[in-house]
Structure formats: C-alpha cells, structure tokens
Structure 1
Amino acid sequence: MVTNIQFKNLDDISYKEAGIFENTRFEKIHNIVFDDSNCGSKIVAKEIADLIREKQSKNKKCVLGLATGSSPIRVYDELVRMHKEEGLSFKNVVTFNLDEYFPMSEDNEQSYHYFMHDHLFNHIDILKENIHIPKGDIDSDKILDFCIDYEKKIKDYGGLDFQLLGIGRTGHIGFNEPGSHSKSRTRLITLDHVTRTDAAFSFLGLDNVPKRAITMGIGTIKEAKRIVLLAWGENKASTIKETIEGEISSHVPATYLQGHNNTTFVLDKGAASLLTQYHTPWLVGPCDWNENLTRQAIVWLCKLTSKSILKLTDKDYNDNGMESLLAQEGSAYYLNIKNFNILQNTITGWPGGKPNADDSRRPERALPERKRVIIFSPHPDDDVISMGGTFDRLVEQGHDVHIAYQTSGNIAVSNYEAMKFAEVGLELDSKNKLFKSIVDFAHNNLTSELNTPELLKIKGIIRQKESLAATRYIGIPDDHVHFLNLPFYETGKIKKNVLSQPDIDLMVDIISRIKPHQIYAAGDLADPHGTHRVCLNALFKALEAIKHKEFMKDCWVWLYRGAWHEWGIHEIDMAVPMSPDQVARKRRAIFFHQSQKDNVMFQGDDAREFWVRAEERNKETATKYRALGMADYEAMEAFKRHFY
C-alpha cells in the first residue's frame, strides 16, 4: 500500500502513523511532504536516533548507510545537536558512505571524506574504526579489490539497517547514473555530464569536477532494511515525479526503489510540486475549489486543450476531471469570465501603483503616489537580471528606489578577470604592491580559483563597480545603492557560514532606515547556489523582527524569480509588461556586469548566458498570458506577493 501525507511540523505525524492515510492511484513509492525541509530533516534524524537507541538497548551495532550533498546536511546538524544536548551516543554505530569522487584525496575540501567529518563525524563520539567511506585516492589497479572488500564489510555487519539517500537530477542514487543495473554492486563509474554540471559550483567550474567516482551499487542499496530518500526544492520536482509515478527504468535509477518494501521519500513542497496530487489534484479525487486552485486548474486546462480561457466549454471541464468545479460555478461561461478578469487584473504597467486611479482591482495601491522602495538582490546582478524592466519602470515613474546587494558575489569573479583589472592598475601604478601581489598570485593559480584576501578584495570591488555602472544607467543615485556584504557569505570559499544574527541585523537596519512601502526580493527557493535561499531567509527573519513597527503596516513584499525558474501563471500576483525598447534597456543594464557575462563560473546546466535566459523567460511569460487570451506584449516580469 502506497501512502502519502503532507504536514507542516513534527507534531502532526510520525512515520508509524503514516499508513493511516489514503493512497493515490498514481504513486508507487510512499512519500511524506513537508512545508519546510527543516521539519523533514528533523523527523528523519529522529528516526535514525530512535533506531540507534533501539539497537543500543539490545547491545547491537546500528549499521547506517550515509549520503552526502546538500540534502542531508540538516539531518546531520540535528543528529549532532541530539548528541550534544540529549546525550545521543554513536559508539554502537557503524557507517558506510555511498560514494566518493575518483581521484580524490581525503583532505581535499571537495571530498566526501572531508564532508562527512566536517558535518558529522568530527562532532560525535563515533569510533574511528566504524567509519567506512570509499577511498578516492587508491591506485586504479586496486579499485576492484577495494570494492569487493567494501561489499564484504557491509555483509559482515549484517547489512545496512538504514540507508539515507539524496537524488540527482539524472535520477541517480549514490552515483548510480542512468544505465545502472538493478543488481549492480560497489564499483567505479563514469559520471553523467548533468551530475558533473550540478557539482560545478562546488568545484569552481566544470573543468575541475572529477569524471569518475566509486559508488555503492543499486543492488547494495536495495538490500538495506530501511531506505529514506530526501529531496528539497523545485529543481528536483521533475525527477521526483518520474521516480514516484513513472515506470521502473534504468534511465532513472531511483525508480528501482519502487521494488523496495520499506522506502519513504521525504520531500518539501517544491520537490513534490509536480506529483499529480499536488500539480493536478482534480485528477486524483475531490477538491476544495478555492481561488488559487481554480486558477491553477484553468491555466492547466487551457494548455491541455490549446484554448484561451474564454473558449473553454462545459465539455472541456467535464472531460478533464473538473466537473465538480463546473457544478460549483454553474457554467463554463461565468467561470471563464470570472477567472479571465482575475488574471487580467494581475497585469499592470504601474508596479508602484497608478496615481489617481481606482486601485481596487490593481495589484498595487495608488497611494502614496511616490513610494519608497527597496530592491534586495542576493548577488550584485540579480536585480537587473530578474526585474530590470520593473526596476527601470519604478525609477521612471518617480519612486524613491534603493537597491541593496546582500552579498559581495566575489567568488563568482574568475582569477582571469581579477588579474586583468590588477594588470590595468599596475599599468597606472607600476610600484603598487597590492596589484603586483594579486597579479603574481592569480597568474600562478588561473585555473584553481584559489583566493587570497587581496584577491577577494579586488573581486568584490569589480562586482561593486559593475553594479554601480548598471544602477547609474537606470538612474539610481549612488547614495541609494547599498552593499550589505552579509557575513554568512564572506568566507572566500564555496562553503558559507550559517545565517546568524549579524546578517539579520544588517537587514533590519536598512529596512528601518528607509521605511519602505515596497520590498522586492528574490524568491528562488530552488536556487542551485543556495545563496538566494539564505538571503530570503534573512529577509523573512528581519521582517519577523520588525513587523510590529508602525511603518511596516504599509509595507508590501513582492517576490521575483531569477534566471533559473519563473512563477507559474496561476501563482503570479503582478505581471509587469515590457515593450521591445524596455527589453533592450534591461539587456544593456545586464551587460554592465561584464565579469558575469561570458564564461560564467557557475553556469549550471544551461549554456545560455544569463541575459538570454532572462529575456527568453520574460518573453515566455508574455506568450503564456497571450495564449490565455490576454494582450500581446513583448515580454513580462512576474511577481508574487508575500504576506508576513
């Protein structure tokens, strides 16, 4: 029996209770969906802790299969907390890690050996001899014997009691890439290009990512007595849907878990968003037809039938699982007009509100006519990439616009780029020791992307000056441009610090000083870098701290998305159209960020430059509105209002 649930916190339910919930006809793997990945991580950590304690009470070893990557980090954080605050001991725990890059030395910060010790082993009382991680630094001719021995050790301990997994966008578990056999064992494997691309950020570029890895096999994983797979964020949604609802296939190795009788997928809403019960719940069973779900269903139906809203018929609704909506509203005619008007009213050329206008059906208030605005930009180019047209419109319409760059973005500047600027400085001042030290270091480390404090300084300055060039072009005074340099980011490394009170204090300070009527912020919760998510959390915590202040009663928060994803049409609360000339102005503003224009260090798997991604995304949004029967615009930027 496949079951699934959705809940918001740890008090709602436990794994033991999950079976009382109704199954769906589409899903083949038990899954639990949380609003928040923190809660999901805590309940998984609790299950692991309970298992450890149960084994301790029987004087037995607890054999854990462990994963790396971003997904299990919060689980490990919680286990460390339980060890330090609740006395959870790991002395009876034996661990086997899934995989390791090859070749890779143990002391390399990118190694999974380093990762596991950094996030877990260095902070608990596990015995060193009980830790097993594939070795990435052994001779090639010894790999086969090592893999055979790794399998034997697992069997000698009686097999894995619990296996923790993440999932890659290729559907890999461990490093079992598409094509892996269901009975495969620990072995050396060649990594898929998509997998290497996803890892490129951590390695400061695709060229630095190893092409091979040692991984446990599918057969090894499936022999675990219990399997829990974690997936967070919208970037995992399509893979999760294919894994849970698709057919078993070697092209998506995670689908092999459909044949395991004790597997649970622990997801957040983003990762679960394409599952049928959430994406199109009217195909699963009865629905509570609120306004948001109705909009979602009608947009879906228009796409399915290739019709605009006003052309949908009673038959279209009845034939596609929406007969209860039709019965509730009476007829397609009235339902269509009502929802056409709702979507039409999200479109406005006045993102700051239109003066002297009836604002009852507009996204923004008419008053005050001149609003104070803060645009928060996680990196020093997200403002113009994500909302450059709206940014330009706000300035043009006379609003008091401030831009706040939350991080320096310094590590995204290549050593090649930094050396170029330092060389210019040396031409102007040949005796400058700072420029000379930068040139000397960068010249000897062009491909490694190692950083020194001096190198990080010039990289930060490069991004600041590029930002000022763009904001001046749009018409923002320099004293309205703020570089916050939130401390969590300023490590000079890929790995960042956790969000802390000094970060939140900086956010509180600028909001309190400007007292904005509008705040714009990046809502990319599936951001592959993670920085967008942390920056948004910093804003949310700041808002929580000051929401009681009088000026906050008149402050609205609008969330934009970047070059990675866009809001679904049914989610959009404000769509700002752009003319061809405005699209061109946005493009020119992006071009001022020259260090990020060509050969971007953290490109992701999309080979297009960021300005191309943004432009095509904006044009696609306009095309979707047009297909629904709205006006024909060149492009649109989309926003969702956040209520705090």
Structure 2
Amino acid sequence: MLDLLSVHDTSTADISYRHVGSTDITRYEKMHVEVFKDSGKASIAVAHEMAQLIRAKAGRGEKCVLGLATGSSPIRVYAELVRMHKEEGLDFAHVITFNLDEYFQLEPGSRHSYWYFMHEHLFNHVNVRPKNINIPKGNIPLDEVYQHCMDYEARIDQAGGLDFQLLGIGRTGHVGFNEPGSNSRSLTRLITLDHLTRVDAAGDFQGISNVPTRAITMGIQTINKARRIVLLAWGHKKAEIIQRTVEGERTSEIPATYLQDHPNVTFLLDEESSADLRRFSTPWLVGPCDWTETQERKAIIWLSRHVDRPILKLTERDYNSNGMSDLLALHGTAYELNIQMFNILQRTITGWPGGKYGVDDSQRPERADPERKRVIIFSPHPDDDVISMGGTFARLVSQGHEVHVAYQTSGNIAVSDVDALRYAEFTRDLNESFGSGNARLEFIIEELSRNGKGGQPDSLDVRKIKGLIRRGEAIASARFTGLTDEYIHFLDMPFYETGKNIKNDLGPEDIQLVRELIERVRPHQIFAAGDLADPHGTHKVCLDAIFRALTELKDASSLAIADTWLWLYRGAWQEWPIHEIEMAVPLSPAQVEAKRNAIFFHQSQKDGAMFQGEDQREFWQRAEQRNRETARLYNQLGLTEYEAIEAFRRWHF
C-alpha cells in the first residue's frame, strides 16, 4: 500500500492541517483517517495506491478486482488513473470492476446514469475489457431485480472478491446507496433513496422531481468483504457526517459507521471535511495544543459561546474547566487574554471596506491609501456578487472607489427551460409585432417545448438564450448598485460551456481571460468567491482560475498586482467561521433592504431556482439570514449589535 503521508502538504503552520502521529490526538477516532491540504493530492494518492495494486497483481499473473464509486469525489482519482494509463502504461487488461450502485429505471445511455458516468470518466479512456466491467442494471423489470442482485453477488464471489473498494459518503451517512436503516448484513438489493440524497442529486437532474426514487446498491456486507477500503470526502458539507461516522457509535442510522468493523479501511479527507473531528475542532479538549495565534482565537471564541458569556466576562475558572489552563498560564490572567481577543475582533469591523483615507490604518482591515482604489469583484455566477457581498459592493461604489464587476461564467445551466421558453416566445411575438421573423427562433422554441429533451444537454442556441437572460439580470442588478456599463465585464469562461453539470477542466483560455482583466484594471483589491472545497464546483474552479492568474503575474513580477490584496467572500450556503473573519462590514437596515432589491433583479433565480439544494428558501432569504447570524454572533461575543454583517477573509498569495 502506498504511504499516503508522503504526499501530504504540511506547509501550513496551523496544527489543524498537519498530520499528527500522536495516539492522544486521534484517540476518539475509530477508523484510520488521513487529512490532506486539498482533495487533489488525496485523489492522486489513492489513484497511485490502486495502480500499485493493479501492477502487483499483474506481476503475479492475477486479476485485480476493483470496487468503484461514482459522484464528484472520485473524479480526480479516475483522471489520474487515465493519465497513468496514457503516460506510464498502466495496464487495465487484467482488471475486473464492480460498481457500487445504479439508479433504478434509468437507461444506461442516459447521461444521468452511473454507467454513463463511469464510461465518460474512466472506461472509455483505458484498456479495461468490456466483459470485465460490471455495473448493476437499472433498466430491468421489477420482478427480475432480486435475481439480478443475487447474480451480482455471485459474480463478485466468482472473481475472487473485491481486492479494493473505493467509496464516497453521502450526507445521510450512506455508502453506496445504503441509506439509514440499512442492515450490517445487507447484500446487493433495490433500495428507496432518502429525501436528502435526492436533494443532493437534484442539481444533476435539473430538479428533484426528475431524480429517481430508487436504486440498486451493493450491501453493507458486500462492501465490508473487500480486502481494502478507501473512503473519500471533500468539503464542509461532509464535515458533520464524517465526525459522526469516525467518532460516533456504530448504528444503522449512519450506515458508514459499519466500516468501523473493517480491519483495513482509510478515510481520506480534505481540511474542510475533517473540520468537525475533535482533533481539529477542539484540540485543547483532546491533548496538548500548539497555541498559535489562530488557535488562540478559535479557542477563546469557542469558549465564549460554550459558556454563553461575552469574551470580556470569561473567568479563569472558564479557561481551567475547558482544557485551556495551559493557554491561561502563557498569558497570565484571563483579563489579559480577554482584552487581547476582544480588540482583535473589534478591529475586524469596518464600515470602510476600501479603507478610510486620512486615518491611521494600523488597526484596520484595509489600507487607507490610496484614497480611491481600483477594485475587481469576481462573481462565479451572475448573481454571486450581490448575494454574497451586495452591501459591501454598494458601499465601495458609494465611497468613490473604481469598482469593476466580472461575471466569470454565463450561468446558463441555472435557467429553466420554462423561463427560456417564455423569453423566446416573447422575442418571437415582439418580432412579429414589428413585422420581422426568425425561423431559427422557431427551432429553439420547438426544442424548449419538448419536455425534458430526452435528457440531452442544451443546444448552443438554447444556452445562448439562457446566458442572455442571466446577463440582462446581472446588468440590471449592477446598475442598481451604482455601476455604469463600462465597469461590467462578462468573461464567459469556456470551461463552463458544456451544457451539462459536469464541466470541462480549467484551461489556459480561462486563466488568460482572468489575467487580462487584472492586467487592464491593475486592482488594489480583488474580491472573489472563497469556496475552497468541492474541486469540481463552479466556485472552486473560478477561484482556481484567479489563483493561477495571480501566480502567473507574480512569477512575471507584474506591476499589475504590485499593490493587490485578495479578499474572499462566501456564498449563499455558508459563512466564514468567526475566528477566520478578517474584515466584517456591518449593514444598516436600509442597506439590507437595498441588497435584497439588488438580488431581486435576478428573476430567473427566484421562486424555485434550479439549484437550491436542501434549503428551500430563496437566495435573498438565505443571504439575509446568514448576514444577520454573523451580526448576532459578534454581538454574542460582546461586540456592538448590528443589523447584519458581511464577512471576508484575506488570502495571501
């Protein structure tokens, strides 16, 4: 087995993101866990372990039997296996594969099927023999399902059992599609999907109503018979279920906890998915703690909330009773600790996100000079700017800074066919009213009128209409915030334009579009969506394009970024933890209302937007609740009470 530690990125000084070998710090964990700086390195590590196993088995003249998973988590694993096949000659001729699951009553050729997924990401690119590929059949009659499942079990046994099983994990704690309530002795079978599982899949199917309600899945016992298991989990959305799986009791309510029974299982996590494990969330309660400034801030904020007292009212007994006696000993008194932390938090709050000219800025988040800053707000989709930082956006404009907004993608995939059809028919009727017509438009209307279009991606013409809808909404919203059209930019990054939820990899043209804008504006401030988790999410890909453009400019010693600071905001679903916030911009009730009105211009994303996730509130409601909650937390810690707060974290590139 590959030494996974060899590829860890331990460059950060924060103990939370370094591998810790001490048994004390991991004593609450009931399975072997490895934490990586990012999912890319973790994916490469597991791909290399799989390749090593394939080669070792081939060297002995044996078949290598792999259990494979689908979903976003293993995509990079498969990409690395494909690379090794093409560049290093990794041979799949003697590999037999068994997939975990498949949606029931879905044809293999459907782009939503796992058969399609596996061929698109792996099988079409390596020399695995078709007869050695095994995927449960979703398109069989109900009365044949039981026998098909028993035959699937038999084929695994005939192949000699699974040498290696790759897993992801759902937020219900499912592995495969073994939903809560699954038995530890369960075998391959038909199962009804949990509502949360269907909600998580809704984006792929363009609405939860299109997600199948049943699936065929390997059972818990089938999975646990594999000789080696590796489970992957990325992103903050998986943090809670990972903690419950790794540190909790074995229970059918969280089927993944049955992996605690396996003698050779490893969980590979990134920083965000591991954040709720005790060694990271509250290391001072687990063992000796490396009291960095970041760790002190995190611990004191935790303590204030835990004992439900403002920071300035924390006592020596509070510190001693909650695992922080050594921190108290370092600083002498609770009073000194409390004052220091209160001042740090107070200095994050500013009504001048572009800096306040002519005042001492040594205790402020932003520089005072220059008085008028050049600013680029990068927005992955055409509404992230106002949803995530609409109040700060308006304040930067009103305070006289030169603000540019750059919409990185068209966002066309988030426009429903119903909305696109309405606009297309309106355009046709408008043309007819003025005595002109467009035959091409009739074909587009016909395509949009076909219910579901057979699960096929949108045509280029349809994508153009949907993109224009979102472009118009973004322009109206930015104008309302105070911008004129010359400061509104549409990058239409090519990686996004697939017409499908699965996007292309980031390419040189994507990065060049970002770089050219930065070189043209020469910004003092860049604001970007700081979603660092899902490696395939649009926010993460757009952020990577900014990172890579800045790296190229830095390597070239470009004057365009000689005085640039990068501030990261979060999206509609999540906010920065209080201890990570470095700039907090308070909003008055009137500013909250103005932000809401700016969001309202994005009409295609109101009243049942296509990618709402499990939260059925509209985006403006989520944004307001998130901003009000941040203000409430600041107030709970003993700081001034505000209506709402938008939060940012500075990224040092």
TM-score, reference length from structure 1 = 0.97
C-alpha distance in 2 between matches for 1:132 and 1:7? 32
Does structure 2 conserve the Cα–Cα contact (< 8 Å) formed by 1:10 and 1:43?
Answer: no
Matches within 5 A, 1:77-476: 77-430=79-432, 431-445=437-451, 451-476=458-483
Using the TM superposition, give the Cα deviation of residue 102 of structure 1 relative to its aligned residue in structure 2, in angstroms. 0.6
- CA gap 1:542/1:11 in 2 versus in 1, 3 angstroms: closer
Matches within 5 A, 1:535-554: 535-547=542-554, 548-554=557-563
Does structure 2 conserve the Cα–Cα contact (< 8 Å) formed by 1:363 and 1:574?
Answer: yes
| Post-superposition CA distance 1:562-601 (Å, at most 9, x none) | 1111000000000000000000000000000001011101
Of 578, 600, 618, 1:609 maps to 618
- CA gap 1:448/1:197 in 2 versus in 1, 3 angstroms: farther
Does structure 2 conserve the Cα–Cα contact (< 8 Å) formed by 1:415 and 1:447?
Answer: no
Residue 477 of structure 1 aligns with an amino acid whose one-letter code is T
Question: Does the alignment pair 1:592 with 2:598?
Answer: no
Using the TM superposition, give the Cα deviation of residue 279 of structure 1 relative to its aligned residue in structure 2, in angstroms. 0.8
Using the TM superposition, give the Cα deviation of residue 386 of structure 1 relative to its aligned residue in structure 2, in angstroms. 0.2
Of 561, 578, 591, 1:582 maps to 591
C-alpha distance in 2 between matches for 1:59 and 1:529? 37
Residue 421 of structure 1 aligns with an amino acid whose one-letter code is Y
Residue 23 of structure 2 aligns with an amino acid whose one-letter code is E
- Residue equivalent to 1:624: 633
Residue 473 of structure 1 aligns with an amino acid whose one-letter code is F
Does structure 2 conserve the Cα–Cα contact (< 8 Å) formed by 1:374 and 1:518?
Answer: yes
- Residue equivalent to 1:568: 577
Using the TM superposition, give the Cα deviation of residue 283 of structure 1 relative to its aligned residue in structure 2, in angstroms. 1.1
Does structure 2 conserve the Cα–Cα contact (< 8 Å) formed by 1:7 and 1:35?
Answer: no
Residue 377 of structure 1 aligns with an amino acid whose one-letter code is S
Using the TM superposition, give the Cα deviation of residue 446 of structure 1 relative to its aligned residue in structure 2, in angstroms. 6.1
Question: Does the alignment pair 1:481 with 2:488?
Answer: yes
Does structure 1 conserve the Cα–Cα contact (< 8 Å) formed by 2:66 and 2:164?
Answer: yes
Of 30, 37, 50, 1:28 maps to 30
- CA gap 1:575/1:19 in 2 versus in 1, 3 angstroms: closer
Q: Secondary structure at 2:495's aligned position in 1?
A: coil
Bigger drift between 83-92 and 393-402 goes to 83-92
How many matched pairs?
A: 637
Using the TM superposition, give the Cα deviation of residue 21 of structure 1 relative to its aligned residue in structure 2, in angstroms. 5.2
Bigger drift between 55-64 and 343-352 goes to 55-64
Using the TM superposition, give the Cα deviation of residue 4 of structure 1 relative to its aligned residue in structure 2, in angstroms. 11
C-alpha distance in 1 between matches for 2:90 and 2:5? 29
C-alpha distance in 2 between matches for 1:522 and 1:118? 29
Does structure 1 conserve the Cα–Cα contact (< 8 Å) formed by 2:529 and 2:539?
Answer: yes
| Post-superposition CA distance 1:206-237 (Å, at most 9, x none) | 11111100000001001111100000111110
C-alpha distance in 2 between matches for 1:545 and 1:482? 21
Residue 35 of structure 1 aligns with an amino acid whose one-letter code is K
- CA gap 1:60/1:170 in 2 versus in 1, 3 angstroms: same
Does structure 2 conserve the Cα–Cα contact (< 8 Å) formed by 1:4 and 1:30?
Answer: no
Using the TM superposition, give the Cα deviation of residue 447 of structure 1 relative to its aligned residue in structure 2, in angstroms. 7.8
Residue 440 of structure 1 aligns with an amino acid whose one-letter code is E
Does structure 2 conserve the Cα–Cα contact (< 8 Å) formed by 1:523 and 1:536?
Answer: yes
Does structure 2 conserve the Cα–Cα contact (< 8 Å) formed by 1:392 and 1:474?
Answer: yes
- Residue equivalent to 1:64: 66
Using the TM superposition, give the Cα deviation of residue 422 of structure 1 relative to its aligned residue in structure 2, in angstroms. 1.5
C-alpha distance in 1 between matches for 2:7 and 2:27? 20
| Post-superposition CA distance 1:344-382 (Å, at most 9, x none) | 000000000001110000000000010000000000000
Residue 82 of structure 2 aligns with an amino acid whose one-letter code is V
Q: Secondary structure at 1:163's aligned position in 2?
A: strand
Residue 22 of structure 1 aligns with an amino acid whose one-letter code is T
- Residue equivalent to 1:15: none
Residue 432 of structure 1 aligns with an amino acid whose one-letter code is N
Q: Secondary structure at 1:242's aligned position in 2?
A: helix
Does structure 1 conserve the Cα–Cα contact (< 8 Å) formed by 2:524 and 2:565?
Answer: yes
C-alpha distance in 2 between matches for 1:37 and 1:550? 32
C-alpha distance in 2 between matches for 1:526 and 1:37? 8
Q: Secondary structure at 2:528's aligned position in 1?
A: strand
Q: Which runs of 5+ in 1 are unaligned?
A: 13-17
Provide the aligned C-alpha RMSD in A: 1.8
C-alpha distance in 1 between matches for 2:460 and 2:57? 49
Q: Secondary structure at 1:202's aligned position in 2?
A: helix
Does structure 1 conserve the Cα–Cα contact (< 8 Å) formed by 2:421 and 2:449?
Answer: yes
Residue 543 of structure 1 aligns with an amino acid whose one-letter code is L
| Post-superposition CA distance 1:83-138 (Å, at most 9, x none) | 11111111111111000001111111111111111111111111111110000111
C-alpha distance in 2 between matches for 1:6 and 1:476? 50
C-alpha distance in 2 between matches for 1:250 and 1:602? 30
Q: Secondary structure at 1:641's aligned position in 2?
A: strand
C-alpha distance in 2 between matches for 1:272 and 1:163? 21
Q: Secondary structure at 1:75's aligned position in 2?
A: helix
C-alpha distance in 1 between matches for 2:7 and 2:111? 36
C-alpha distance in 1 between matches for 2:123 and 2:117? 9
Q: Which runs of 5+ in 2 are unaligned?
A: 13-18
Q: Secondary structure at 2:272's aligned position in 1?
A: helix
- Residue equivalent to 2:15: none
Residue 610 of structure 2 aligns with an amino acid whose one-letter code is M
Of 518, 527, 531, 2:525 maps to 518
Does structure 2 conserve the Cα–Cα contact (< 8 Å) formed by 1:412 and 1:601?
Answer: yes
C-alpha distance in 1 between matches for 2:275 and 2:282? 10
- Residue equivalent to 2:500: 493
Does structure 1 conserve the Cα–Cα contact (< 8 Å) formed by 2:518 and 2:560?
Answer: no
Does structure 2 conserve the Cα–Cα contact (< 8 Å) formed by 1:95 and 1:130?
Answer: yes
Residue 103 of structure 1 aligns with an amino acid whose one-letter code is Q
Does structure 1 conserve the Cα–Cα contact (< 8 Å) formed by 2:106 and 2:139?
Answer: yes
Of 506, 514, 518, 1:507 maps to 514
- CA gap 1:20/1:603 in 2 versus in 1, 3 angstroms: closer
Using the TM superposition, give the Cα deviation of residue 551 of structure 1 relative to its aligned residue in structure 2, in angstroms. 3.4
Residue 444 of structure 2 aligns with an amino acid whose one-letter code is I
Residue 438 of structure 2 aligns with an amino acid whose one-letter code is N
Bigger drift between 326-335 and 550-559 goes to 550-559
Residue 589 of structure 2 aligns with an amino acid whose one-letter code is P
C-alpha distance in 2 between matches for 1:448 and 1:132? 25
Does structure 2 conserve the Cα–Cα contact (< 8 Å) formed by 1:4 and 1:33?
Answer: no
| Post-superposition CA distance 1:121-176 (Å, at most 9, x none) | 11111111111000011111111000000001111122111100000000000000
Using the TM superposition, give the Cα deviation of residue 494 of structure 1 relative to its aligned residue in structure 2, in angstroms. 1.5
Bigger drift between 577-586 and 34-43 goes to 34-43
C-alpha distance in 2 between matches for 1:579 and 1:63? 61
Residue 143 of structure 2 aligns with an amino acid whose one-letter code is D
C-alpha distance in 2 between matches for 1:492 and 1:551? 34
C-alpha distance in 1 between matches for 2:256 and 2:31? 11
